[in-house]
Amino acid sequence: MYGSIRRYQLVKGTPDVVREKVSTTFMPRIKTLDGFVSYSVIVTGLGGDGLPGIVTVSVFDSAEQAKASSKLAADWAREMSPFFSLEKLGEESGRIACREEAD
């Protein structure tokens, strides 16, 4: 399995708007990608400039599928510009070396 972690700063809008739009418009799209395992959104504390952070974690069966999710996310974020705006701060992707789930 492969994961992608993307870090953003929310520069327009609110975390609640991001959550609602992710739930209603992005989750249905990402779930249709081949190899989809999971997707999470984490709202982090305020940065030094007072803006909230958003971290997303995507898990897929292969590296190619994880990379495809990054393009989907970028396209979707552009579509959402009337509602919110994210500044991408970074992205890390790689093979998941260890994973455990609740029984």
- What pLDDT is recorded for position 22? 95
pLDDT at 82: 95
pLDDT of 50 over the 80 cut: no
Return the H-helix or E-strand segment holding 90: strand 85-95
Residue 70 CB neighbours (<10 A): 16
**pTM, whole model, 2 decimals?**
0.87
In the chain, domain spans = 2-92
Helices (H), 1-103: 15-21, 27-30, 63-79
Please state which of the four CATH numbers 1.10.10.10, 2.40.30.10, 3.30.70.100, 3.40.640.10 is assigned to the domain occupying 2-92.
Answer: 3.30.70.100
SS3 category, 22:
helix
Question: CA angle, corner 70, sides to 78 and 59, nearest 5?
Answer: 135
- 25-49 pLDDT, tens per residue? 999 999 999 999 999 999 887 655 6
